[in-house]
Amino acid sequence: MIQNPILPGFNPDPCICRKGDDYYAAVSTFEWMPGIPVYHSLDLKNWELFTHIITDDHTVDLKKLPSAKGIWAPCLTYCEAEELFYVVYGIMNSMNARYFDVDNYVVTAKDIKGPWSRPIYLHSAGFDASMFHDDDGKKYVVSLEWETREGYEKPGAICMAEYDAKKQEIIGYPRRIWHGGTDRGCIEAPHLTRHGAYYYIMCAEGGTGYNHCVTMGRSKHVWGPYEKDPANPIVTSTPGESYERHDPDHLKPNYYNPQSVLQKSGHGSYVELPTGEVYLLHLCARPFVPELRCTLGRETAIQKMCWTKDGWLRMADGSNLAKLEVPESSLPQIPLPQIPDFDEFDSGELGNWYYAPRIMPHRFADVSARQSHVRIRGQESVTSLHKASILARKLTSVHAVVTTKMEFVPKVYQHSAGLILYYDNMNFLFLRKYYSETLRQSAISVIQLENGEKSEYLDTRIPVEDQPIYFRLYVEGKDTWFAWSYYGTDYKKIGNVFDTTKFSDEYCKYGEFTGTMVGLACVDSMKHMRYADFDFFEYKNLTCETN
């Protein structure tokens, strides 16, 4: 059986495509760089982090964008006629007053690992844009048309425009083609495909929260009209009808289903195998209960599907409730490389599983300056929206232990470095070594930022020597705390026990849609020159349980 989620942790808005025997899934990254991870599989059960689409932080400049803005909902497709990969993505620049200012782009490449073309601007009609390659060679861009007017249903309708690949622009203005297959409202995430005699439109409805779902419609003409699937929604965490077109809020916690471990199931994309089997990837979340807070963010799950005799797509078990365990495909199982638990920084290059907010990690992290270490040059504070030196990876379980060994000699109080648990620039925990003017020497302490309010907990400050020091983070369900040691044994707890659930979309006021990260950080807010050397980074999941 396949165990869900297949991509745990912050891996939302999946889009899957196939080239020959290879299957690729792309997910959203918002303000994190590199942007748009692509996962690879040969059997739909074993997945590896393969590459990233966006690696140029000059061309795609995310600096100063608030959390949850940036790169939204990539659509990865492969055009066999051109032997070309296409990725359509949006850059959300602002959500002020619910105007949602987004620019949509497309990039192409012959190889999934690139090089990728320069971004081609499509339009700014709305978000979740996708590309459809028709059999006659025509191409279409489908997206949500974001509605800003009073008195109209929000967030809007699905619109479409033909794309001229030679001129590299859409033809005319997008036209509205679909208002949804249910009355859950909040339609988004459209994908257009073709199967048999029909064009199919697959969307998410209900908002990317607890009423989320996957719906479908079909038409014999690309421009419609599209008829609703009579069994909508086809995948969800909350079966049954709901009438929410009047409410544009996306979260809707009142639709939490205690009978399902996977919540928020929706935003789907499917792939057909050479065997005739069909699988659908969708986002999901596993909240703490009863808080209904999803510290790991929105994750990626898979469901086995099938086509009915009358041409509708259904879950293979005949239900529409997203499952934790899914039957494997008939493809031979092929294990793939996984992210290592222990990284000694001795491979000559930085692992592709590391991310930084808004800038590429190589701007401040160097694995060649000192053998078997990563040297992190401090920049602005970890609250910065501009240049923060945070080298992080995704938290994939709420039962984890993270450890590092650091050498750092701070000279002024503007110097600090250490281990961080980070949801966004307004919500984090930071075990840091810094220079204390009060003690006139180096010290360690914990800083917390909770919805923008800072607590330094100086009553737990400890003076330390300028020698190598071990920092450790424990995440044990709803409890999170730090410890430290000089020699990697006999760790001593430092600071409070913090509430893990608060690192979530549902609690954080300044960001949403992402997930919790853990990593290494260094600050030099005086001259942006002081650095810390980290000997290793160890990340251990202790269990797959989430609540």
Q: Exposed, middle or buried: residue 1 (CB in 10 Å: 0-12, 13-18, 19+)? A: exposed
Coil/strand/helix, residue 201: strand
Per-residue three-class SS string for 268-290:
EEEEECCCCCEEEEEEEECCECC
Residue 194 C-alpha from the chain's centroid: 28
In whole angstroms, give the CA distance from residue 214 to residue 305. Answer: 12
In whole angstroms, give the CA distance from residue 159 to residue 177. Answer: 5
Q: Name residue 389's amino acid.
A: S
| Residue whose C-alpha is closest to residue 460's, from 488, 437, 490, 492 | 492
- The one catalytic residue among 31, 43, 188, 524: 188
> What are the tokens at 172?
């005319």
Residue showing tokens 């701070």:
410
Coil/strand/helix, residue 55: coil
| Residue whose C-alpha is closest to residue 162's, from 120, 133, 204, 121 | 133
Whether 241 sits among the annotated catalytic residues: the reply is no
Whether 169 sits among the annotated catalytic residues: the reply is no
How many other C-beta atoms are found inside a 10 Å radius of the C-beta of residue 492?
11
Is the CB of residue 520 less than 8 Å from the CB of residue 534? yes
- The one catalytic residue among 13, 128, 505, 506: 13
How many other C-beta atoms are found inside a 10 Å radius of the C-beta of residue 97?
7
Question: What phi and psi, each to the nearest 5 degrees, are found at residue 255?
Answer: -95, 10
In whole angstroms, give the CA distance from residue 481 to residue 500. Answer: 9
List active site positions: 13, 188
